[in-house]
């Protein structure tokens, strides 16, 4: 599993922690589409040399749709009222795969601003429930960054498209129900959200019950 170093912005634990409260904040605290979002006052070119198991995306990882033997859930993005100006045309999908190797999430979007850094997170509430609520955590109350949470970072291309897969060596529980994308610079402004729906009802419970394949543990960390 690679730790992602991407485009113009590198994410470090301090940046992630800075955005946590905003990402899970009460909707009344968030800016609407007609206001200028508050920017994160931080050098967005900070170097991410420390590995810390903070996998936040690998473009060469197996897409969630293609993970063998996985329980899949997916959805299409719906726009959120907190989105900054310029994002009314955003569309896309996210897919989560739970397998004996752990969890993979793949997202694909169009209609983003070009050449902009974005970050997205698995969330623990539905999109219309408190703006998706807090981040999903494997250990509730534990560290607010990977690998205890699932974060996915990417940079849009010249046409405003984005694609990335993030992996985690644990199987996400049933509380990982949604996925939210933000601009990196305006991390307190959620653009869009996906509510995950199982491809096959009951498959997620079955995958969680089966657990990790101990004979292949570590494969997600070393296969790329």
Segment 188-223, tens digit of pLDDT: 899 999 999 999 999 999 999 999 998 765 555 444
Mean pLDDT of 149-178: 98
Residue at 141 is within a domain? yes
Residue at 5 is within a domain? no
- How much of the chain exceeds pLDDT 90, in percent? 69
Q: List the single range of 20-24, 103-107, 133-137 with lowest mean pLDDT.
A: 20-24
pLDDT band at 13 (very low <50, low <70, confident <90, very high): very low
Residue at 137 is within a domain? yes
Residue at 117 is within a domain? yes
Residue at 193 is within a domain? yes
Query: How many domains is the chain partitioned into structurally?
Result: 1
* pLDDT > 50? residue 53: yes
pLDDT of residue 51: 42
Q: Residue 63 maps to which CATH number? A: 2.60.40.200
Domain of residue 19: give its range.
13-222
* pLDDT > 90? residue 169: yes
pLDDT of residue 188: 87
Residue at 17 is within a domain? yes
* pLDDT > 50? residue 3: no
Residue at 4 is within a domain? no
Report d(CA 66, CA 68) in Å as an integer. 6
Residue at 45 is within a domain? yes
């Amino acid at each position: 599993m690679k730790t992602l170093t991407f485009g113009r912005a590198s994410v470090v634990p301090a940046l992630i922690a800075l955005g946590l409260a905003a990402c899970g904040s009460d909707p009344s605290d968030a800016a609407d589409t007609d206001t200028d979002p508050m920017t994160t006052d931080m050098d967005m070119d900070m170097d991410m040399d420390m590995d810390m198991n903070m996998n936040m995306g690998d473009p060469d990882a197996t897409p969630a749709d293609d993970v063998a033997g996985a329980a899949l859930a997916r959805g299409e993005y719906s726009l959120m009222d907190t989105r900054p100006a310029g994002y009314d045309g955003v569309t896309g999908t996210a897919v989560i795969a739970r397998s004996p190797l752990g969890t993979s999430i793949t997202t694909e979007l169009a209609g983003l601003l070009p050449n902009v850094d974005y970050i997205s997170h698995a969330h623990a509430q539905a999109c219309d429930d408190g703006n998706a609520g807090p981040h999903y955590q494997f250990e509730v109350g534990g560290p607010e960054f990977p690998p205890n949470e699932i974060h996915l970072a990417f940079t849009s291309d010249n046409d405003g498209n984005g694609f990335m897969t993030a992996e985690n060596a644990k199987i996400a529980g049933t509380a990982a129900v949604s996925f939210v994308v933000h601009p990196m610079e305006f991390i307190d402004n959620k653009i869009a959200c996906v509510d995950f729906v199982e491809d096959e009802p009951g498959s997620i419970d079955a995958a969680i019950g089966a657990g990790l394949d101990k004979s292949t543990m570590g494969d997600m960390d070393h296969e790329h």
